[in-house]
């Protein structure tokens, strides 16, 4: 009760002082701690907050704001505290400590103060200054560091995410987003923040750090906030702007690197493979396909990826690189995604398009060189010899015939190579060169093979170096001219009415040499002829008779087996 009584007198607008002859003592000030940095000093008209211990000259305490847990708040120089204190705190800095000795006539004079302070008593106050402000004060902003790349700054109606440390003017911390490990997320200019913070955030860039000092009337005013922020408290915020967007933002595309050759651009329904590095606006990485050593594969425009990426992947070329900045409402929204992506986060993707295709795509054939004379072209059943380089669309070499001593050979239509290559090798002249673009459904499919990623579009460079015309599937030999009218007699070279393997082989080789017939290419001729002989030698006695040469009808008489001869 006595402490409250003394405090009420400390704040009186006037004190009666008995007039005594002779000079009067002034206050005695002992500045026993002065801060190294003092941005401002108390002046008349300022508002102050300070803690004090009040004692008599013998050290006996009569009052203490520390004991009450509530500092003194008031305006200086307007008679709202005893005259000695008005004079004694003039010129003080925040965190300065003074011992102010106040003579009676500048304190409570000859009347004293109730039962607490006797008449004509000298008072001693140990004061620590906590806060200084003035109604003319404005928000003070100091840039501690700027962001590296500032494309836009905070404006009213923007949504921001920022980290901060909040302290009172004397350095007492009251809050920190870092301690909560979570940014403060809010709109600017919509009264979601104290006025001083809204003002202090305007014009900031992502990555910028600011020191913002806010006077009480632009902060929490005379009521303070909870137990952490006292009434009439100036606030200091060290702010780091992490993120910035506007609800009206669309994706932005920049830093595009487009290949000189772009035969077509991606459209809705295409299947695309791309690499990416993903970061937040402040440059912190949260994901990368490169670290997994796998492309990200998806359909475009069909809702398989976030809306912003679905949009950004349309209209790209194979090999294109671009940076995509994506506002949260086109990414993971206000809820974020797991532990890696916080709510309301703007995302930045640096993507490299490897390839794309459509399930309806066919083999793309580009003829890069064709000989002037082209009398013979490759077709199904032909044995061809060719050179090739096989690469991914980003230029990564997968396979090359140069790794082997001889050109590659294959019988077209025999399912020995991927469908797209088989198709692309048809209709070529010897010496012709082609480039093939083969979609995965005509290549190695969605699973790929050793060395070929799943769903990869393949790029082939081809050169045809040789053609051996083939025979139809299931045949070992075909006639190129009319069959002899008396075939068995032609086979029976010694006219003994039977054809052994030696006669059969001699006859067939003669037909091939004279251009009258053709053996299946790509196999040993003697082995092919032996197989032909075995097919005709129905009773397996090692010779062919005229009867065996006839067409053999199946037992059900519905199907007939073909014979080359």
Residues that are catalytic: 164, 174-175, 194, 220, 237
- Distance from C-alpha of 149 to C-alpha of 256, rounded to nearest angstrom: 17
**Is residue 551 within 8 Å of residue 563, measured between CB atoms?**
yes
CA atoms within 13 A on the CB side of 43: 7
**Is residue 84 within 8 Å of residue 9, measured between CB atoms?**
no
- What does the DSSP 8-state code read for residue 398? E
Dihedral sign, Cα of residue 365, residue 367, residue 372, residue 377: negative
* Dihedral Cα 242, 248, 254, 256, nearest 10 deg: 130
Nearest to 330 by CA among 248, 269, 243, 268: 248
The residue whose two tokens read 């902060």 is 219
The residue whose two tokens read 């003669």 is 510
CA atoms within 13 A on the CB side of 182: 9
Contacts of 261 (CB under 8 A, 6+ apart): none
Number of helices and strands in the chain (H, E):
12, 26
Q: How many other C-beta atoms are found inside a 10 Å radius of the C-beta of residue 91?
A: 14
Nearest to 516 by CA among 481, 484, 564: 481
The β-bridge partners of 369 are 433
- Distance from C-alpha of 401 to C-alpha of 366, rounded to nearest angstrom: 20
- Could you tell me the CA-to-CA distances from 403 to 333, 391, 412 in Å, in that order? 52, 14, 22
- Could you tell me the CA-to-CA distances from 21 to 26, 118, 340, 359, 364 in Å, in that order? 15, 21, 79, 109, 114
Tokens of 66: 């520390």
**Is residue 216 within 8 Å of residue 233, measured between CB atoms?**
yes
- Could you tell me the CA-to-CA distances from 321 to 289, 317, 324 in Å, in that order? 14, 9, 10
Q: How many other C-beta atoms are found inside a 10 Å radius of the C-beta of residue 424?
A: 24
Nearest to 130 by CA among 205, 236, 54, 58: 236
- Distance from C-alpha of 387 to C-alpha of 27, rounded to nearest angstrom: 104
């Amino acid at each position: 009760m006595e402490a409250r009584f003394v405090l009420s007198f400390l704040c009186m607008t006037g004190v009666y002082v008995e007039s005594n002859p002779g000079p009067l003592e002034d206050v005695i000030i002992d500045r026993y701690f002065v801060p190294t940095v003092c941005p401002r000093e108390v002046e008349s008209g300022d508002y102050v907050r300070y803690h004090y211990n009040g004692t008599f000259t013998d050290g006996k305490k009569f009052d203490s704001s520390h004991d009450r847990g509530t500092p003194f708040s008031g305006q200086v120089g307007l008679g709202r505290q005893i005259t000695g204190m008005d004079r004694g705190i003039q010129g003080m800095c925040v965190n300065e400590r003074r011992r102010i000795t106040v003579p009676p006539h500048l304190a409570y004079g000859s009347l004293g103060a109730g039962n607490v302070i006797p008449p004509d008593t000298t008072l001693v106050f140990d004061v620590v200054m906590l806060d200084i402000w003035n109604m003319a004060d404005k928000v003070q902003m100091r840039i501690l560091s700027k962001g590296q790349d500032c494309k836009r700054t905070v404006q009213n109606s923007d949504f921001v995410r920022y980290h901060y440390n909040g302290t009172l003017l004397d350095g007492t911390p009251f809050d920190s987003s870092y301690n909560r490990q979570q940014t403060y997320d809010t709109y600017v200019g919509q009264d979601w923040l104290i006025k001083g913070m809204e003002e202090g955030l305007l014009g900031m860039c992502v990555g910028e750090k600011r020191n913002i000092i806010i006077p009480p009337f632009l902060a929490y005013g005379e009521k303070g906030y909870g137990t952490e922020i006292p009434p009439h408290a100036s606030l200091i915020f060290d702010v780091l702007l992490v993120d910035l967007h506007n609800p009206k933002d669309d994706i932005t595309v920049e830093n595009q690197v487009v290949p000189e050759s772009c035969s077509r651009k991606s459209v809705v329904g295409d299947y695309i493979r791309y690499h990416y590095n993903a970061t937040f606006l402040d440059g912190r990485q949260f994901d990368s396909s490169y670290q997994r050593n796998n492309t990200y594969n998806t359909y475009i425009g069909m809702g398989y990826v976030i809306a912003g990426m679905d949009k950004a992947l349309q209209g790209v070329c194979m090999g294109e690189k671009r940076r995509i900045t994506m506002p949260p409402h086109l990414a993971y929204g206000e809820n974020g995604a797991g532990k890696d992506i916080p709510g309301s986060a703007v995302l930045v993707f640096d993507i490299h398009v490897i390839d794309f295709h459509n399930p309806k795509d066919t083999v793309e054939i580009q003829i890069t060189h064709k000989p002037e004379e082209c009398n013979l072209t490759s077709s199904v059943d032909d044995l061809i010899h060719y050179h090739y380089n096989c690469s991914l669309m980003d230029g990564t070499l997968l396979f090359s015939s140069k790794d082997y001593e001889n050109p590659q050979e294959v019988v077209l239509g025999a399912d020995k190579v991927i469908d797209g290559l088989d198709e692309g090798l048809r209709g070529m002249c010897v010496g012709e060169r082609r480039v093939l673009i083969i979609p995965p459904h005509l290549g190695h499919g969605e699973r790929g093979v050793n060395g070929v990623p799943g769903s990869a579009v393949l790029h082939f460079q081809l050169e045809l170096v040789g053609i051996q015309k083939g025979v139809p599937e299931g045949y070992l030999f075909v006639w190129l001219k009319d069959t002899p009218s008396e075939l068995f007699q032609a086979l029976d070279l010694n006219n003994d009415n039977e054809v052994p393997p030696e006669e059969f082989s001699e006859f067939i080789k003669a037909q091939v040499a004279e251009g009258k017939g053709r053996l299946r290419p790509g196999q040993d001729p003697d082995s092919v002829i032996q197989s032909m002989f075995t097919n005709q030698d129905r009773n397996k006695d090692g010779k062919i008779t005229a009867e065996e040469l006839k067409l053999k009808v199946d037992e059900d008489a519905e199907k007939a087996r073909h014979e080359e001869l």
